[in-house]
Every structure is written in C-alpha cells, then in structure tokens.
Amino acid sequence: MPEAAGRVESINLSRGGVPKTSVFEALVTETGLDGDRQADRRVHGGPDRAAVLFSLDIIEALQREGHPIGVGTTGENLTISGLEWRDIVPGVGLRIGEAVLLVTRYASPCETIRRSFLDDDFSRISQEKHPGWSRVCARVMTSGVVRAHDSVQLQTF
C-alpha cells in the first residue's frame, strides 16, 4: 500500500511577526526559510525551530468553528494538507520538495496570534489543551527548495 502523501498548500514568510504572506517557493536551510525573519529570536528560530508547519485541514476546521484564522496568520512557514495531523509529532521526518525536515516539538501559541481566534483565545491551538491541533516546529536535515504544491512524504531516518 503506498504511503499517504500530503501537499504544500502555502509557503509563508515575513520580515518579522504575523501574518506571514504566501510566496511561490523558498530555499529551506538549517537556519530557516530564506527571506523569513522572526521578531523575537529568544522564542523563535534556531536549529530545532528552523521552520513552523501547520495543517490547512486544521485551519479550515477552526474556521468552521468561527475563528478568523487564515493561512499564515499564526506564523507558520509551511501550510500542509492531506496528512493526518495527529500523526505529525516530534520525531517524525518529512520530505518536502527537495528538503527533509525532522519535527522537533510542538509550537507554543502566544498572544501575537490572538487575533486569529474567537475571543483572542490563542490557546485553541495549544497541544496541552487541544492535542492534535498544534503547529509543529522542525529542524532542517537536508536543505533544498520547496515550492507550492510540492508533495509531502513521511520520511524514515
């Protein structure tokens, strides 16, 4: 049976802060996505947080709950569809375009993304409060170009 594949729906960058805006492609390296900046390097970036990934399927489910969330509004670099998001946990590898990433941790939500949620309740995507609804951080194991609509495959190390 072929392994399930996802797809890159959006690549999102900013000069710091949110929302991040969509671009067609980006070079992904161990320091992150080329052209992306983080406003507060104490809590963003670094090797184990080089990229933040989120699920379009989760974003759409949150929209159905009435949240004003959109692609890039919570600061994710890569918005992905077609994978069972609950399976994207620390230790999982992903081949995305030319790049290979290793999920390292769940991304802790903070008040800078509050406007993406009803009543500013950014804890709606907290892994502790709502398992399976969180963004994830990743380390870049193999650098490469990632393009919109690239395939996303689970990768074994």
**pLDDT in the model for residue 156:** 85
Between 1-5, 25-29, 62-66, 97-101, the lowest mean confidence (pLDDT) is in: 1-5
CB-CB neighbours of 65 under 10 Å: 10
Residue 68 half-sphere exposure, CB side, CA atoms within 13 Å? 9
Classify burial at 9, counting beta carbons within 10 Å of its beta carbon; exposed 0-12, middle 13-18, buried 19 or more. buried
Tens digit of pLDDT for each residue in 72-100? 999 999 999 999 999 999 999 999 999 99
- Quick check: 13 pLDDT over 80? yes
**pLDDT in the model for residue 37:** 81
Tens digit of pLDDT for each residue in 32-57? 999 998 655 555 567 899 999 999 99
This prediction's pTM: 0.93
Q: Which domains does the chain have, with CATH numbers?
A: 5-155 (2.40.33.20)
Q: How far apart are CA 142 and CA 120, in angstroms?
A: 37
CA dihedral sign of residues 115, 75, 52, 105: negative
